[in-house]
Structure 1
Amino acid sequence: MKDPWVIDNLHVTIRLLLAMLLGGLVGFEREHNNHAAGLRTHILVCVGSTLIMLLSIYGFAQFVTLNRDPARLAASVITGIGFLGAGTILFTGKSITGLTTAASLWVVAAIGLAIGAGFYYAAVAATLLVLLNLWVLNKIEQKFLNGKKARILTIRAVGKHNLIDEVAAKLTTKSIMTKRMTLTETRLPTEENIDVQMELQLHVVAPKQIDPINLIVELKSIDGVFAVSVE
């Protein structure tokens, strides 16, 4: 009977290459959508997890004969990957981004552990389900669920006392809801008179399909507005 605690170099290579392939598939989707952790990061996480599992199962065969627990190093991977995932999560002041990428890193680590343990079917099936979630369900969500996205609008205008009313009218036509508003007036003395420069900052929730460029053009068309930014 073949020793379950011994593996040859061919199968080690196969498992590492499979980890590179499956981790790369998930990483490619993240890279394609311009997320913080992309192709190389996911490949490194998956290959590293596979190597640690291989080491945990087979690396100490000649040293330990009783009470062997291959899950010890695997548990440390699951714990440690949380620190890497935390680096992809950003709080911008208006929303939290990177949670899905952090979750994909965690899942890729689990896929690597499965490959290292020889659970090829589970690893491949999990990868397909992850890609289904990241790509297919994302398309469905964007098309049918009409999600909202938090944005910050900053509008600068000169001598415009009804600026708020005109901006509110523009936003209402695009189904953009204002959550918070800050208006700052600055008086700038000139040779002839005193000009008033207004800065209006709005924290809004807008439909995801809103094009920021078109929104800037719409707001810029308001008389007196000379600068618009959308974050």
Structure 2
Amino acid sequence: MEQTLALRHFHQMLDAIIADIFTPTKIPYPVIVTRLIGATLLVAGIGYEREIKSRAAGLRTHMLVSLSAALFAIIAIEVAAGPDFGDTVRLDPLRIIEAVTAGVAFLSAGFIIFNQGKIRGMTTGAGIWLAAATGLSVGFGYWGIGLAAAVFGLLILVALRWFEGAWELKGDT
């Protein structure tokens, strides 16, 4: 009898843990996973271009920044749709955008170097910022905006590098 009671208690605890892990969400879990994967993959081209140019922030960094930004957006949606906290807590998803922007600006600044009268890393810093914005777009469900931004970013990095070289506008960025 005692063993049956202990086993029942164990199953209740296990059910509670599983319910906590798979908390109901506003966005279905397959959509969440798809957004996270999409945000990561959309910036892969930008990160790869930085990688082949041997920049400090390459493929992995760009993908992680975009993934993180998408996750922050998804969490903002879920918290805003979650339980009512009353008047004590105000939920504003735009604060997530501001927080991600501030954090990424700090991260991007770390890639900018002033050495021997030259500034280097500006393009990499801008790429990191674009990766975050792309991740936020996809995280909030605006796939078209994220895709357009990633494509335009990659075109800027590749096509304009050729144009700058052909017209001898400036050195390698």
TM-score normalized by the length of structure 2? 0.78
Unaligned runs of 5+ in 1: 150-207, 209-231
Per-residue Cα deviation, 1:96-144 (whole angstroms, up to 9, x for no partner): 0000110110111011000011000000011000001000111111012
Are 1:24 and 2:44 counterparts? Answer: yes
Q: State the partner residue of 1:136.
A: 159
Q: C-alpha separation between the residues in 2 aligned to 1:114 and 1:64? A: 26
Amino acid corresponding to residue 141 of structure 1 in structure 2: E
Per-residue Cα deviation, 1:195-223 (whole angstroms, up to 9, x for no partner): xxxxxxxxxxxxx7xxxxxxxxxxxxxxx
Q: C-alpha separation between the residues in 2 aligned to 1:77 and 1:148? A: 32
> Residue 119 of structure 2: which of 76, 85, 96 is its match?
96
Identical aligned residues as a percent: 37
Q: Which structure's relative contact order is higher, taking Cα pairs within 8 Å and 6+ residues apart? A: 2
TM-score normalized by the length of structure 1? 0.59
Give yes or no for contact 1:46–1:109 (8 Å, CA) kept in 2.
yes
Unaligned runs of 5+ in 2: 1-24
Q: C-alpha separation between the residues in 1 aligned to 2:76 and 2:82? A: 12
Are 1:14 and 2:34 counterparts? Answer: yes
Greater percentage in strand = 1
Change (3 A) 1:87 1:115: same
Q: C-alpha separation between the residues in 1 aligned to 2:152 and 2:98? A: 23
Q: State the partner residue of 2:6.
A: none
Aligned ranges for residues 72-83 of structure 1 at < 5 Å?
A: 72-83=95-106
Number of aligned residues: 145
**SS of equivalent to 1:63:** coil
Are 1:147 and 2:161 counterparts? Answer: no
Q: C-alpha separation between the residues in 2 aligned to 1:140 and 1:125? A: 21
Are 1:52 and 2:75 counterparts? Answer: no
Moved over 3 A (4+): 64-68
**SS of equivalent to 1:34:** coil
Give yes or no for contact 1:19–1:50 (8 Å, CA) kept in 2.
yes
Q: C-alpha separation between the residues in 2 aligned to 1:107 and 1:62? A: 29
Amino acid corresponding to residue 96 of structure 2 in structure 1: L
Moved more, 24-33 or 45-54: 24-33
Q: State the partner residue of 2:60.
A: 40
**SS of equivalent to 2:55:** coil
Are 1:61 and 2:81 counterparts? Answer: yes
Per-residue Cα deviation, 1:139-196 (whole angstroms, up to 9, x for no partner): 111012x1345xxxxxxxxxxxxxxxxxxxxxxxxxxxxxxxxxxxxxxxxxxxxxxx
